[in-house]
């Protein structure tokens, strides 16, 4: 009987983690460049043969690789990644990957993220523009020109978020290893005047939320039933 309680408890822990990721996804359904979080669970078997008991693992989070829809803004400082790559930002927490391309130029000419972090080029250096040159024009490869002169290039990077990745802000991801710059690939580029929206499907996430809540209620009912059965057994055995 105790095994059933432990199994139910492991299920509740797993469902709580799933619930938290769904809530986070729903909360960021409108966050530019946000990639949804998923959770993978595995069976953890204790014992062998007829005494084997299967528990739910605590789960490992992973980052959805689905692309969000593209929205045209017409803003020359809005950029969207085309293909499997990320922008890089220089933050107090180190280099951070993001798909949020809402940039701006500060008074010194540096290209900055919406949070005020420098945008990096392929070499890992902040992008310096001419503060008097006006908005840059971006090529499909991320190169930036002001007038007839190329003044820099937006860096595009690839990296593996891995399980249990760490977020930075709303749409940033802290890479566990040094990301690699993406160069000379025709399937990766930059679209100026566009933004990538969140890849969260709110309807699907709400459906999953209802399923998790019902599963949690069923497990709780099973635990109450198991406890009641245990109490009855104790009373019966104690009366003899």
- Is residue 3 scored above 90 in pLDDT? no
Binning pLDDT at 50, 70 and 90, where does residue 167 land? very high
Binning pLDDT at 50, 70 and 90, where does residue 106 land? very high
The predicted structure's pLDDT at residue 47: 46
The predicted structure's pLDDT at residue 100: 97
Q: Any idea where the domains of the chain sit in the sequence?
A: 2-64+200-238, 70-196
Average pLDDT on 93-111 reads: 96
Tell me the C-alpha distance between 24 and 39, whole Å: 12
CA distances from 156 to 127, 162, 226, 235 (A): 13, 19, 55, 68
The predicted structure's pLDDT at residue 119: 98
- pTM to 2 decimals? 0.80
The predicted structure's pLDDT at residue 183: 85
The per-residue pLDDT for range 120-136, each reduced to its tens digit, is 999 999 999 999 999 99
- Is residue 197 scored above 60 in pLDDT? yes
Yes or no: say if 160 and 191 are a contact pair by the CB < 8 Å rule.
no
Mean pLDDT of the chain: 85
Tell me the C-alpha distance between 200 and 91, whole Å: 25
């Amino acid at each position: 009987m105790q095994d059933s309680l432990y199994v139910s408890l492991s299920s509740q822990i797993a469902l709580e983690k799933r619930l938290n990721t769904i809530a986070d996804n729903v909360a960021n359904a409108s966050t530019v460049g946000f990639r949804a979080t998923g959770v993978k669970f595995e069976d953890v078997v204790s014992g062998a043969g007829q005494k084997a008991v299967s528990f739910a693992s605590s789960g490992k989070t992973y980052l959805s690789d689905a692309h969000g829809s593209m929205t045209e803004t017409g803003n020359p400082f809005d950029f969207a990644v085309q293909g499997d790559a990320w922008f890089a930002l220089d933050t107090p927490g180190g280099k951070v990957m993001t798909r949020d391309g809402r940039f701006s130029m500060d008074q010194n000419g540096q290209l900055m993220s919406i949070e005020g972090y420098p945008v990096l080029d392929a070499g890992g250096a902040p992008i310096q523009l001419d503060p008097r040159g006006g908005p840059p024009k971006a090529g499909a490869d991320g190169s930036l020109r002001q007038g007839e002169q190329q003044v820099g290039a937006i860096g595009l990077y690839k990296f593996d978020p891995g399980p249990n990745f760490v977020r930075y802000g709303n749409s940033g991801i802290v890479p566990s290893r040094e990301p690699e710059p993406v160069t000379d690939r025709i399937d990766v580029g930059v679209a100026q005047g566009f933004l990538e929206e969140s890849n969260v499907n709110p309807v699907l996430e709400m459906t999953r939320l209802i399923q998790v809540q019902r599963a949690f209620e069923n497990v709780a009912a099973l635990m109450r039933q198991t406890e009641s059965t245990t109490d009855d057994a104790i009373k019966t055995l104690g009366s003899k």
